[in-house]
Structure 1
């Protein structure tokens, strides 16, 4: 049995997926440049599973390093997480984002083809739907992007579609994530953002643990039930299990499929804050500030395709999400440096 290669395997979603793959009997290699991740995550995955992923430091834009990796190990499929993911930063550093996310993927696919490895699970994003006109959002919704990060994910989707059209023996799933939150229930691995968090849940957690004074809620005048933005939050462990199912699907299928990974339920910013406070019995002071440019009112998935095609659906509740987020943050106030 060959290895599953996880690019960006030490990151937030990568490390949780490594854990679920190891628990499912797969052999795993992580290839990560550690620009926004920590090797400690994989050490802890090993402690939790009594099984180690091979960890190799490298960059997906480094063709020689990838060739060496593919010639050294019998790799049978790739789960491609490696990518920069901060929307705000992408508007300031578009070339950096396109180089890393788009050029990096092209380089990876070129090396995969050279070694005849043609099964790929790609980390896409709900940002490819732009400001969707209708919710819940099905995979057939029109695609557009409102920032360079989303644009880079959309470009890669088009590239991979063109690749399969030219070479039908590839099998590719484009997993469009909604908003991953939470952590492994052990509290040993979780989201470990560099600097100021870009995402709501780690920000709430850092306020609750006393690292930050208060949460800024961007706008309370959206056309939603409480005026704050509504999103589809999905527990990272559910998300990781979706990747295991996607790999199992690709064992028997070629072609390309886009699949939403979400719960199909939207929660507002204040729903998240209130649930976090109530379940964890901890205060989360917040202040309403102006809307952020580019933010949309409501975004949640139509998730039925994942159930039909992969036999997957989200199982964890909002209470699980906030409880596991707080367990991780309170046990690891400084992330993997704790």
Structure 2
């Protein structure tokens, strides 16, 4: 069994990816500093997989600790790097935290990759690298514009670091640009549980339905869209997790040269379809039978009008495509919320 390191593996996307990796017979080591996750997630992963992944609490900002970890784990064959700070608003308020956490940790990992000949690396990137698109759907060749937040900037810089490293080493890397992950595992053993007030739409919806939040705010109803609300590409987190396994298998096969330059590739991960905020709200109410208390308010600064992916490259080169529907994602998110809150 090939040993794979998953950083941030107790987080939302990381935990679902660990499950899919174990399902595909990879041996997983999780490192996580638990700054935005819970050790309880380990139990959820184990309940699904029937195999407990190895876990080590590690702060990747501590270079000496990172070096010590790799000295003890020289047989790692690939890394999937999720660990990062990810709240746009927080990044504006505390940019140095984001630059330290998101860039230094990547650099320390890549230095260890060079030291120990670990040449397979998957990076958790984001559609935020595109900013406000000039045309839709967004392809991987779309212009990378000046980032609107330190968070977005760290993703852009991280991709540049990876590309530059690949050009002068044996490293092969794939950056996966996510659109909007939603949903939870069908077992309701793991799901999205943000610390504090949710920054994303669906957990705010489910927390409002559960009575944790008084009401949901719809930011902007006068955008140039069919119903006036913003449009995003919402992808089921399990479909997203599966893409990481396929990308890893591409790297490990060694006989599929990168289509992009210098052993470095990027792929959009989305459904290829845009859904408005109001569409998601209405779909949640219809799918779950839960009536939401929501109000329409003014636009939120920094929100892009419409973003959805062109997924042709991932479909054709990775042989991956989404399988799960919006309704499945919303129902699974609600079942997860019910479990967390003890709602029958």
Superposition TM-score, scaled by structure 2 size: 0.95
Give the structure 2 partner of residue 163 of structure 1. 165
- Within 2, Cα distance between the matches of 1:8 and 1:304? 28
- Within 1, Cα distance between the matches of 2:18 and 2:2? 15
The Cα of 1:2 is off from its aligned counterpart by 3.4
What does 1:93-132 correspond to in 2, within 5 Å?
93-132=94-133
Give the structure 1 partner of residue 305 of structure 2. 297
- Within 1, Cα distance between the matches of 2:177 and 2:116? 27
What does 1:246-257 correspond to in 2, within 5 Å?
246-251=247-252, 252=254, 253=256, 255-257=263-265
Give the structure 2 partner of residue 181 of structure 1. 182
Instruction: Provide, for residues 303-337 of structure 1, a one-character-per-residue CA deviation record: whole Å limited to 9, x for no partner.
Output: 011111111001100111111010100111289xx
The Cα of 1:164 is off from its aligned counterpart by 1.2
Give the structure 2 partner of residue 265 of structure 1. 273
Instruction: Provide, for residues 81-109 of structure 1, a one-character-per-residue CA deviation record: whole Å limited to 9, x for no partner.
Output: 00000011110010100110011111111
Q: Secondary structure at the match of 2:341?
A: coil
Give the structure 2 partner of residue 279 of structure 1. 287
Distance 1:334 1:76, change over 3 A: farther
Contact map agreement 2:47 2:189 (CA 8 A) in 1: no
Instruction: Provide, for residues 171-214 of structure 1, a one-character-per-residue CA deviation record: whole Å limited to 9, x for no partner.
Output: 10000000000000001100010000000000000000111111
Q: Would you say how many aligned residue pairs link Structure 1 and Structure 2?
A: 334
- Within 2, Cα distance between the matches of 1:158 and 1:132? 20
Segments of 4+ in structure 1 off by > 6 A? none
Q: Secondary structure at the match of 1:75?
A: coil
- Within 2, Cα distance between the matches of 1:199 and 1:138? 23
Contact map agreement 1:63 1:111 (CA 8 A) in 2: no
Q: 1:330 aligns with which of 329, 335, 338?
A: 338
- Within 1, Cα distance between the matches of 2:251 and 2:267? 13
Instruction: Provide, for residues 11-61 of structure 1, a one-character-per-residue CA deviation record: whole Å limited to 9, x for no partner.
Output: 000000001101111000001000000111111111111111111001112
Give the structure 2 partner of residue 8 of structure 1. 8
- Within 1, Cα distance between the matches of 2:2 and 2:271? 32
Q: 1:146 aligns with which of 145, 148, 158?
A: 148
Distance 1:256 1:225, change over 3 A: same
- Structure 1 residue runs of 5 or longer lacking an equivalent are none
- Within 2, Cα distance between the matches of 1:138 and 1:27? 33
Contact map agreement 1:206 1:212 (CA 8 A) in 2: yes
Instruction: Provide, for residues 193-249 of structure 1, a one-character-per-residue CA deviation record: whole Å limited to 9, x for no partner.
Output: 000000000000000011111101110111111000000000000000000001000
The two structures, once aligned, show a CA RMSD in angstroms of 1.2
